[in-house]
Structure 1
Amino acid sequence: MLIGSIILILLVVACYFLLIRFAKGVFGESSEILAASVPVAFLLFSAITSVFLIVLPTLWAGLIGSFIIIVAGFFSFYTLNKNKQNLWVREDSDRHYGLLRFCITVLIFLTLFLLISQSLVQKPDGSLLIGRGAAVDTPYHLSQVTRIGLTEKWDFEEPNFSGEFIKYPYFINLLSGFILKLGSPLVFAFHAPIMLLVVSSIFLLVSFFRFLGLSKNIIIFAVLVTLFGGGLGYISYLQGVIDSLPLRHSAPYPMQNIAYPAMVPLFFMVQRTFVLGFVLFILSMRSFLEGLKNNNLIAFVWSGIIIGLLPLAHTHSFIAASLVVGAMLTYLLVRQDKLFFNAARGFIFFAVPLAIPSMGALLLLPKYLLGNIFSLRLGWMTTTLPNNAGLNLPSADAVKFLPWLRYMWTNFGPLILMPFAILTVFKKLPLKKELVFLSLGALSLWAAPNIFQFQIWDFDTNKFFAYAILFSVAALGVAIESLNKNKKLATGALIAAIIVSLPSGLISSFNILERGGEGGFVMFDKDQSNMVAWIRSNTDEDDVFLSSAAILDPNSIQNPVVIAAGRKATMGFSTWLFTHGIDFSERSEIIKLFFNNPENAKAELEQIPADYLLVDDILRKYYPDLENRLEIGGWKSVLKNDSFNLIKLK
């Protein structure tokens, strides 16, 4: 743990000096630059390490990536010191704002620390408790982290589906895997980078609103609505119609389902990639705004660098940032604004070359079930089944418009009025570039998920609405600060709308805190740990394991033994594979054929990657005679305990 902690600190400090030297005036005062150094350091480390991973073992790739950043930071410090440049830029003179930012950061961090910690907790006996709300996301992320951290060389394969290039953004898990490889405990390696990012993201979110010139009162509520703003699900909760939040499925018509309760309980708690993507999104938007306000080419360049590296950090954040910047570049071009050339030169010349390799990998190598990166349809969640929190219709052939309006109102409440308020702003206020940028960005982010389906599971598009809320409250805040009269009235109206939108997110978060580990499940018990120890010592790191994770059962989302051993799975949780665009149909049919009739499916088994079969109680429940038939077919057990039977297949 000590070595991992030292590496994390050195990366952040080195990146701080790099930003002081090469990003002067882009990210603000030194405290903001230090906060920005956390995500930028993690981004640069993962990008550089990924390049070396093509040819080098994981440990060496990570050490070289760290060495490059640390040495570059040292030379930046040396140059700055030699030229007698300030190493700490003067702080904001408003002490009340500084205290406000500190208090908001500490209070929200403590809340998020408790929430995130519950997703993965180590018990006194060494086993791990996975929180109920993290039953899908945390085991998957663990499979990435252990695969990277426990093998000599990571092969960029999807651990959930052996043979498939990894399409899920992996940067944050690459860092955690490297920290694990340095000897840190699994829970520390898993949580430490995220906790640093949480502090950074809250601090920079407050700083972003301050950078826009918002008053302290508006900043407080802008932060709250960004993190906890949601829809009206709390009304049904308080009436006792639903037992819990955040999500609501299969609501009786005319009630509508809930697919967006709030950012914190839906994303921050378990979606590690979003935490990294969120703070990088804020940084890229701030640097682009700095370029717009001061015609700062360096700021445009940094925005382009960050967005160009975003696809493998968090794809949704990359698309959202590209939509926002694309809308503004189009506006500058149409207006024939001279600023367009600096913006295009600084942004496009850096973002596009950096994004092409990662986007090419994401688009060309995996098998998209949609047939493309996106498809057209009108209305978010209108193509999703109601029992998956989709649009609820009175009949299959009913007109969708009015139910969709109610669906959006249920999910966003008064927040859905923000785009219309922004359109009103365009008519009544001078169009300053920062206001145009925020307004066009907000409108683009509200509109895009209602027009484009970016993946087969439309539910995941809710992340665009999180950014739409952020940009909407920022745009309206800037507009209010520009008013000469009725400023208090406009401020009061905005705060009132925000207050009405907060209960769903707050209730969800406090319910999660109150219930703790209730409904969670334990991984790495004694039998699992014994099996893991044998697998690590006696099997090749590239061996592939077939297990109960290949069948659709609530208790078989991921196989703990395969995860803890750092091995690849023949096929993991099928719902996850489906929602992330991996075509598993052919492999699934072969697996079913093998489980039903193993002695007659030897030829079919050769068509899929499967070196071992791990039989557990879930498989025994569905296929009671499986072990006997495997023995008849000539397959031998290599290790057996009270819970598991490991059988060599090839």
Structure 2
Amino acid sequence: MYGSFTGGMAAVVFLCFFQLCGLCLSAVIFPREGPGTRALLGSVLGSVSLQWLPALMGFVSGFTRAGHMAAAVIITLAVCGTLIWAKRSGRAVSIGIKDLPGAFLRHKFLFFVLALWIVYCVLVPHSFYWQDNIIYSSQATYGDMSMHLSFITSLARQGTFPPSYSLLPGTRLSYPFLSDSISSSLYLLGAPLRLAYCLPMLLSGAQVFFGGWLFLRVLSGSDKKAGLAFTFFFLNGGLGLMYFLGGEEGNFSRIFTAFYETPTNYSLENIRWVNVIVDMMLPQRATLFGWALLFPTLYLLTRAVFHHKRRYYLIAGLMAGALPMIHTHSFLALGLVCGAWLTARLFRDNRLSVFAARLGKALIPLGLIAMLTMQAVLSPEDRSNSDRLLGLFLSVFSLWAGVLLLLLIGSIKKRRIRPVIFTWGALLLAALALALPQLFTWTFRQVSSGGMVRGHFGWVIGDDNYLWFYLKNIGPVWVFALIGLLTADKRRFARCCPPMAIWFVAELIEFQPNDYDNNKLLYVGFLFLCCAAADCIWGLLELIPKKAPQLVSAALLSALLAAPAALTVAREYVSRYELYGTGAMNLALFIDDQLPRDAVLMTDQRHNNEAAALAGRNIVCGSPIYLYYHGLNYYQQEWDLRTMYEEPGKNLELFKRHGVDYVLISDFEKKSYTVDTAWFDENLPKEFDDGGRILYRVD
């Protein structure tokens, strides 16, 4: 867990080497992009290579150091071959790092982007704080961090590939684990666990912030609009602050003391539209690493679709194909964006752009009315699990497919289908060629076994009125966004229309047992809505005759709307919760140093399980808060666990069935079960005993 200085340096050098390789590839692939864009895209290519190449080598040699060296050789050969080809082709190759200061001077809002990333860099190590042999989490990471640590440490320690759940041995890990494998790589090379966990997050955070700004800038076509949209997205906050103003003494100060009572995350009043930085990018590693790839891909796709950079279709398709096992929701959201933009393209090819924009604008109020009607008509049972909603979704999807087919036929008649095939067709083939093997190997297997796809109405609106729920959660930005869409010209509407597809799908279908997780789709739609809101607001601000008052008004409005987010960030910074105490740390060190790497331990089901999270060992059955929401069937293991603790002498065959090598008895186990400690003392030798935790060996 503690690693070594040499191991830490080796891990940092390895990460930097892949980053350098990505920068070299970007310099050749994107020669006409600006230096900042090339640097960002190169960094993303380097990270994706570090996620995917060791994984591909893992199928051959396991997740081992040898496999990582082979991955380094492959990326080296790829870079050398690319540079040789560029030189022979007479192409000038410039990484562009030295020109980055000029990009900041040309686009001064980048200094704000940089400042926000620095804030994130402060929050990340604070969320995994290691002091005096105790690990502390922040508020946001108290729940999820142990799960991610179990993925990171088990992959590095056990080296099995494809990996299995250490929290449910024998079950293939179908969670998008490449968001954690990049940390496993650093941990495998000898980095301390905290460094291995945090360093890739800092890098991906930069890719998300700068990639988000780059995409919003090209989508909006304006630095000032991109700045507003960027602020709306990353410092998002609705009307939740009103619940903390006035009232009894301490009503406001509880933001900084109570557990999960912030202006952007207050479930008591159904404030669920959480802050992007604190509650998505900090605890949700798959979302973080998915957005790090998604946002640059959206940038390239925007350049391809609206700036006629045809070569970027193929590149965007290849990048999209790498997404499923990094973040499946981002892959699905990108597919919906592509579907919306392809439809807009075909309407344009058939000279129906004006009609398409009018139809789309009409669908916005009609859709809101339909949502209000369904909320009034559907029973609570139908809202949570409804075949009717699945049928409605399939009916609308079939209608869209029929319209798409008619538009394709129209394009064929007008002899405009060839460009569509060589652009969108190339993107589709590239994406599916890379994505389908991942989906069939991991995703579809879990979805089919867990019954994860089902009809569900209205995300997590609960008993709130549909319109009021989104108004109080997203705030004025939601209103400005709707106005921006309704008043946009046909070109602007075509660019900002994807949220309509994303919202429709996310409000009717769920792809996981946790209702809340559909926000991973909705936030991608929200990114576009922020751009539409910025369009609307700047249209109003431009009514002010002078530029200076416009900028001041925009800054004041941004500050006002960002106030709930600022308070949430401040709450995160002052929060600290003990996750693993000294006893847990000492036991984890013993397990990590002394026990076989494939050992199976029997413990209770606490989420902060040191054997799984810190030592990377398998346990019989992990916490339901992880296993249930991953759609896994763990109920037999859960029952057997209780039986083995309470009646071990009568159930020795269960120990064999689950391959139990060691049994842990501590205060946690004694609280969870009526443990037959006398039997364990009489029949099993002790491997570890610190007075509070006893580890028995099963012979």
Please give the range of the TM-score, normalised by the shorter of the 2 chains.
0.7 to 0.9
The answer to whether the aligner puts 1:532 opposite 2:532 as a matched pair is no
1:305 paired residue among 312, 318, 324? 318
* Partner residue in 2 for 1:72: 78
Correspondence 1:357-372 to 2 at 5 A: 357-366=437-446, 371-372=451-452
Q: In 1, Cα distance between the equivalents of 2:555 and 2:511? A: 33
Per the TM alignment, residue 496 of structure 1 is displaced from its structure 2 partner at its CA by: 7.8
Specify the SS of the correspondent of 2:566: helix
Correspondence 1:532-611 to 2 at 5 A: 532-548=588-604, 550=605, 556-611=606-661
Runs of 5+ consecutive residues of structure 2 not aligned to the other structure = 1-7, 256-260, 351-410
Q: In 2, Cα distance between the equivalents of 1:205 and 1:454? A: 25
1:508 paired residue among 560, 563, 568? 568
Q: In 2, Cα distance between the equivalents of 1:599 and 1:2? A: 50
Contact kept? 2:480, 2:536, Cα under 8 Å: no
Per the TM alignment, residue 155 of structure 1 is displaced from its structure 2 partner at its CA by: 4.6
Letter in 2 for 1:614: L
Per the TM alignment, residue 219 of structure 1 is displaced from its structure 2 partner at its CA by: 2.8
Per the TM alignment, residue 494 of structure 1 is displaced from its structure 2 partner at its CA by: 8.3
* Partner residue in 1 for 2:678: 628
Residues 1:380 and 1:498: Cα distance change in structure 2 (over 3 Å): farther
Question: 1:359-404 CA distances to partner (integer Å, 9 max, x unpaired)?
Answer: 12333333667624x222221125xxxxxxxx1x3xxxxxxxx633
The answer to whether the aligner puts 1:115 opposite 2:115 as a matched pair is no
Per the TM alignment, residue 637 of structure 1 is displaced from its structure 2 partner at its CA by: 2.8
Specify the SS of the correspondent of 2:136: strand
Per the TM alignment, residue 477 of structure 1 is displaced from its structure 2 partner at its CA by: 4.2
1:29 paired residue among 28, 34, 40? 34
Q: Tell me the TM-score normalised to structure 1 length.
A: 0.86
2:519 paired residue among 459, 462, 484? 462
2:580 paired residue among 517, 522, 527? 522
Residues 1:69 and 1:544: Cα distance change in structure 2 (over 3 Å): same
Q: In 2, Cα distance between the equivalents of 1:425 and 1:270? A: 37
Q: Over the residues paired in the alignment, what is the CA RMSD in angstroms?
A: 3.0
Q: In 2, Cα distance between the equivalents of 1:483 and 1:22? A: 40
Per the TM alignment, residue 351 of structure 1 is displaced from its structure 2 partner at its CA by: 0.4
Specify the SS of the correspondent of 2:446: coil
Contact kept? 2:456, 2:509, Cα under 8 Å: yes
Per the TM alignment, residue 13 of structure 1 is displaced from its structure 2 partner at its CA by: 1.4
Instruction: State which drifts further: 408-417 or 240-249.
Output: 240-249
Q: In 1, Cα distance between the equivalents of 2:113 and 2:342? A: 33
The answer to whether the aligner puts 1:50 opposite 2:50 as a matched pair is no
Q: Tell me the TM-score normalised to structure 2 length.
A: 0.80
Q: Percent identity?
A: 17
The answer to whether the aligner puts 1:106 opposite 2:185 as a matched pair is no
* Partner residue in 2 for 1:354: 434
Residues 1:100 and 1:347: Cα distance change in structure 2 (over 3 Å): same
Correspondence 1:164-183 to 2 at 5 A: 164-183=171-190
Q: In 2, Cα distance between the equivalents of 1:499 and 1:199? A: 22
Letter in 1 for 2:603: S
* Partner residue in 2 for 1:646: 695
Question: 1:398-450 CA distances to partner (integer Å, 9 max, x unpaired)?
Answer: xxxx6333322222122332553244135xx2x22xx3453221222333221
Question: 1:203-240 CA distances to partner (integer Å, 9 max, x unpaired)?
Answer: 22222233235444333322111111122111112335
Per the TM alignment, residue 471 of structure 1 is displaced from its structure 2 partner at its CA by: 0.8
Per the TM alignment, residue 288 of structure 1 is displaced from its structure 2 partner at its CA by: 0.9
Question: 1:513-551 CA distances to partner (integer Å, 9 max, x unpaired)?
Answer: 1x242x33335x2x4444334434443212222212x2x
Letter in 2 for 1:260: W
Residues 1:217 and 1:97: Cα distance change in structure 2 (over 3 Å): farther
Specify the SS of the correspondent of 1:133: coil
Question: 1:553-576 CA distances to partner (integer Å, 9 max, x unpaired)?
Answer: xxx212113332221222111112
Residues 1:176 and 1:313: Cα distance change in structure 2 (over 3 Å): same
Residues 1:171 and 1:86: Cα distance change in structure 2 (over 3 Å): same
* Partner residue in 2 for 1:388: none
* Partner residue in 2 for 1:330: 343
Specify the SS of the correspondent of 2:601: strand
2:424 paired residue among 331, 334, 344? 344
Residues 1:615 and 1:29: Cα distance change in structure 2 (over 3 Å): same
Specify the SS of the correspondent of 1:646: strand
Instruction: State which drifts further: 495-504 or 60-69.
Output: 495-504
Letter in 2 for 1:266: D
Residues 1:459 and 1:352: Cα distance change in structure 2 (over 3 Å): same
Q: In 2, Cα distance between the equivalents of 1:456 and 1:229? A: 26
* Partner residue in 1 for 2:686: 637
Specify the SS of the correspondent of 2:607: coil
* Partner residue in 2 for 1:296: 309
Contact kept? 2:607, 2:622, Cα under 8 Å: yes
* Partner residue in 1 for 2:369: none
Specify the SS of the correspondent of 1:159: coil
Contact kept? 2:324, 2:439, Cα under 8 Å: yes
The answer to whether the aligner puts 1:265 opposite 2:278 as a matched pair is yes
